[in-house]
Amino acid sequence: MVEVMRSLGHARFALAGHDRGGAVALRLALDHPDAVSRVALIDCLPLTEHLSRITAEFATQWWHWFFFAQPDVPERVINADPDSWYRGDPQRMGQENYDEWRAATRNPDVVRAMLEDYRAGLTIDRRHEEDDRAAGTQIQCPALILWSLRDDLEDLYGDPLKIWRQWAPDVRGHGIDSGHHVAEEAPEALVSSLAGFFAGRPE
């Protein structure tokens, strides 16, 4: 991603990531502090923070993380009936977004790529985060933390800002009145928050 941005003429850039994209944004900000001027992390925590807080409630709600990380079996189960696994809502997502999303979830190569992300999360991604914590590596740029108030991040862990402050010295953020698909469900609130942060305006 850094090479792509450099090829487009951006040696330093602001970055936003939602959910799994937040994990990518975290890794990029930690590995390339000179490239990232500001980072927004939406509906996510570092993976190791999730794993260190596993409760019966988390395991019940997020069992799919561990199922998806298994070899081969998830592909067979999911591809047999993808609509049973990936239940989107065209009313909430918008028809065009929903159609693109549904086509992707019916493509076995896309399904495998999504599962490989979970497999990496519990192996190499987890190890990288553990190494960062042991070394005291932190996000060096300002970080905006946003979360959907009608999702479960706050319910499971309390104030996400308290957790993120262990990973970055300059953290601010707030919840947004939305379900998990915040870009589709609350685009104005999300854009306003991101635009203000990337422009350097105070919270």
Question: What stretches of 94-170 adopt beta strand conformation (E)?
Answer: 143-148
Alpha-carbon distances of 80 from 48, 71, 105, 106, 110, rounded to whole Å: 32, 16, 11, 10, 14
User: Which listed residue (10, 18, 19, 177) is catalytic?
Assistant: 19
Q: How many residues does the chain have?
A: 203
Catalytic, 32? Answer: no
User: Which listed residue (32, 117, 174, 180) is catalytic?
Assistant: 180
Answer whether 182's CB lies under 8 Å from 146's CB.
yes
Alpha-carbon distances of 128 from 42, 89, 135, 169, rounded to whole Å: 20, 35, 11, 20
Catalytic, 125? Answer: no
Lookup: tokens for 58: 């988390």
Nearest Cα to 112, choosing from 83, 140, 74? 74
Residue 192, by phi and psi: left (phi above 0), alpha (psi -120 to 50) or beta?
Answer: alpha
Residues noted as catalytic:
19, 180
